[in-house]
């Protein structure tokens, strides 16, 4: 069982987190707060992913960008994937500028052949595959459920459900023993 912070902290005091250049922001967090950001001095020595290769879908911005940068901070080589080439190129460049190993791979996760090419890119660039983060998702739907076009529904299901199954299937077949697959989801609150 993994632990977030194996060191026992005697009191609930604040810690000022020093940023890793280009990767993290500073802030005050309780040392024993399980929701504090990992990275910088907190990440130091706790997780060593220097022999791991990670693929992160939806890595062009938001949560995926943060995951890609955090994995790189822990030493993993990262393949940043998203539909928009400019976004993933920027994230990969920022990781490299901070001393990490990263490549960008524009990928539409609803295209099975593109997902297979993404996995092969990780292996051809870094030699193997250990971590796959299914983070890509979203919905272009801006209509109430009762007005929803069936094609929009199908496209949303392909992006949020089917692509996770396809990515997981591809990754599981190509990972080294002990590989990890992480599925990210979020909830959007709206009315019908």
Q: Give the tens place of pLDDT for each residue, 15-72.
A: 334 444 444 444 444 444 444 455 444 445 567 899 999 999 999 999 999 999 999 9
* Strands 131-134 and 101-106, bridge-based pairing: unpaired
Over range 67-89, report the average pLDDT: 96
Please report which confidence band the pLDDT of residue 148 belongs to, taking 50, 70 and 90 as the band edges.
confident
Report pLDDT digits (tens) over 104-130: 999 999 999 999 999 999 999 999 999
Cα 63 to Cα 65: distance, rounded to the nearest angstrom: 5
Q: What pLDDT is stored for residue 47 in this prediction?
A: 73
Q: What pLDDT is stored for residue 168 in this prediction?
A: 96
Which one is the CATH code of 47-183: 3.20.20.210, 3.30.230.10, 3.40.50.720, 3.40.630.30? 3.40.50.720
HSE-CB of 57 using CA atoms within 13 angstroms: 32
Domain ranges of the chain: 12-46, 47-183
Q: What pLDDT is stored for residue 188 in this prediction?
A: 57
């Amino acid at each position: 069982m993994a632990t977030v912070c194996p060191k026992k902290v005697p009191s609930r005091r604040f810690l000022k987190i020093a940023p890793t250049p280009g990767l993290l922001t500073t802030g005050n967090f309780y040392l024993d707060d399980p929701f504090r950001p990992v990275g910088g001095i907190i990440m130091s020595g706790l997780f060593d992913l220097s022999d791991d290769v990670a693929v992160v879908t939806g890595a062009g911005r938001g949560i995926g960008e943060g995951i890609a940068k955090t994995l790189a901070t822990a030493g993993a080589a990262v393949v940043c994937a998203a539909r928009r080439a400019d976004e993933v190129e920027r994230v990969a460049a920022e990781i490299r500028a901070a001393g990490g190993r990263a490549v960008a791979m524009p990928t539409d996760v609803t295209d099975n052949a593109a997902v297979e090419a993404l996995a092969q890119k990780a292996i051809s660039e870094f030699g193997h595959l250990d971590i796959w983060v299914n983070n890509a998702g979203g919905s272009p739907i801006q209509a109430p459920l009762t007005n929803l076009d069936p094609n929009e529904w199908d496209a949303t299901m392909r992006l949020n459900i089917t692509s996770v199954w396809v990515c997981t299937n591809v990754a599981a077949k190509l990972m080294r023993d002990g590989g990890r697959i992480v599925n990210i989801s979020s909830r959007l609150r709206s009315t019908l």
